[in-house]
Amino acid sequence: MRATAWWHELSGSAKFRLYSRLTFQAAIAGLVVALAMSDDSMLAVVVIIVAGIAAMLAVEAQPDFATVPGVVARPRMLPLATATLVVIWVAGGIVAHVAADESTVVSARVVGVSAALLTIFSVIAFTRHKWWILIGLSVATPPVLAAPLEAGLKGTATLLLAGVFAIALTLLTVWALGIIDELERTKEVEAQLRVAEERLRFSRDLHDVVGRGFSAVAVKSELAMALLRAGDADRAVSEMEEVRTLAVESMGQMRTLVRGYRNIDLRGEVAGARSLLSAAGCRLVVEGDAAKIPTAFHEVAAWVVREGTTNIVEHSAATTATLTLGGAGMSLRNDRPQGSIGERSGLRGLGERLAAVGATLDIAMSDDEFILEIHWENQ
């Protein structure tokens, strides 16, 4: 389903931001219900609901809660929602000053206090000078709503306490979001460092293994040319024989080096897959044992584990994966796949490897699971 796929495609940071945003909106919805039940006037209830909708829209537009940090889809929503709350707060104060009916005055004060509380939770808690704005609003609200002195003092204290709670909750949430973002960046940097480290290791091995041999070939070739020019053909032939020997040895060393990267061990790949998936936030469960795999298929099974693990990291947001090893075949399953099967070009090469040893590859994908199944046809 599209909704499920959309959720699976979100990063851990984006999911936590969405969760935080929905939590704040749910808290505001609960506050609106409580405030609306505190007054019997239908008009006041409607105005409080409108203020609640404006507050929820303000939370939706907060940059701190954006799915992509700092990028808001509707940047004008926040000023519009803030202006709506301010207008309701001012309108409540005007009605409280000019109304002659006591019940109307009380309803106007409820509306004004409601607008102030919703503004604190949805706007002020996220602003730069939040503490000064909170104090100013808390002190100004009772006079604006024409509240008696004793009730005004209680109202100021209530707004201050609510503001302290809202700001503390917001600061903790934003702090947690910062930690999640930092963890995401750390995972990306770690992956880049692993690639750079592997490249450095290969270049170092390549230099150490064949660099000296090629240097000797170059020097002896120049010496042989100089001997030929000097008329010493016998020594030149001897030097060229050594050049040929060095070239053959260097080629052998090169093959050994490359073979070290191409020949892989099944048990080592399973251990590496567990480590890599764990670093990516996915738990690998291994069922069966590598000893059950027929000897003829050990190497290709190792390639299945390597390519399957790469596939999980690159094309899913998996949290769990299951590797099953058996005498008749093996399988690798993971949850939360992303994209389509056609995007996984590495699987074509894996299918060719399997066909070369008489094995088959079956692929199945649903909204919730991706499955690689391998069967040993000759067993």
Nearest to 243, CA basis, from 207, 259, 235, 231? 235
For residue 365, give the H/E element and its range. strand 359-365
In angstroms, the first-to-last Cα distance of the chain is: 39
Which residue in the block uniquely carries the two structure tokens 């399988």? 331
As a CATH number, domain 266-376 is 3.30.565.10
How far apart (Å, rounded) are the C-alpha atoms in residues 105 and 95?
A: 7
How far apart (Å, rounded) are the C-alpha atoms in residues 369 and 229?
A: 72
Burial of 358 by CB count in 10 Å (0-12 exposed, 13-18 middle, 19+ buried)? middle
Residue type present at position 141: T
How far apart (Å, rounded) are the C-alpha atoms in residues 104 and 7?
A: 47
Our separate counts of H helices and E strands in the chain read 12, 5
Which pLDDT score, from 0 to 100, does residue 7 have? 65
Contact of 152 with 127, CB cutoff 8 Å: no
How far apart (Å, rounded) are the C-alpha atoms in residues 335 and 184?
A: 20
Nearest to 21, CA basis, from 63, 53, 50, 51? 63
How far apart (Å, rounded) are the C-alpha atoms in residues 142 and 92?
A: 11
As a CATH number, domain 192-262 is 1.20.5
Residue type present at position 98: V
Does the pTM surpass 0.75? The reply is no
Which pLDDT score, from 0 to 100, does residue 111 have? 87
Q: H/E/C letters for each residue in 24-78?
A: HHHHHHHHHHHHHCCCCCHHHHHHHHHHHHHHHHHHHCCHHHCCECCECCCCCHH
How far apart (Å, rounded) are the C-alpha atoms in residues 254 and 241?
A: 20
Q: How do beta strands 320-325 and 283-287 pair?
A: parallel
C-alpha distances (whole Å) from 326 to each of 136, 166, 379 are: 71, 56, 11
Q: H/E/C letters for each residue in 138-160?
A: HHHHHHHCCCCHHHHHHHHHHHH
Contact of 274 with 307, CB cutoff 8 Å: no
Q: Provide the residue ranges of all domains of the chain, joining segments of one domain with +.
A: 8-184, 192-262, 266-376
Which pLDDT score, from 0 to 100, does residue 323 have? 92
Per-residue pLDDT of the chain (379 residues; tens, 9 = 90+): 455 666 666 667 777 778 888 888 888 888 888 888 887 788 888 988 999 899 888 888 887 776 655 555 566 888 898 899 999 989 888 988 888 788 888 888 888 888 899 898 888 888 888 899 989 988 988 888 888 888 888 888 988 998 898 888 888 888 888 888 788 788 778 877 877 776 776 676 666 556 656 766 777 788 788 888 888 888 888 878 877 877 777 777 676 666 665 556 788 878 877 876 775 678 899 988 888 888 888 888 888 887 888 778 777 888 899 999 988 889 999 998 877 766 555 677 778 778 888 888 888 888 888 998 988 865 4
Which pLDDT score, from 0 to 100, does residue 3 have? 54
Which residue in the block uniquely carries the two structure tokens 């935080």? 20
Residues in the chain: 379
Contact of 241 with 217, CB cutoff 8 Å: no
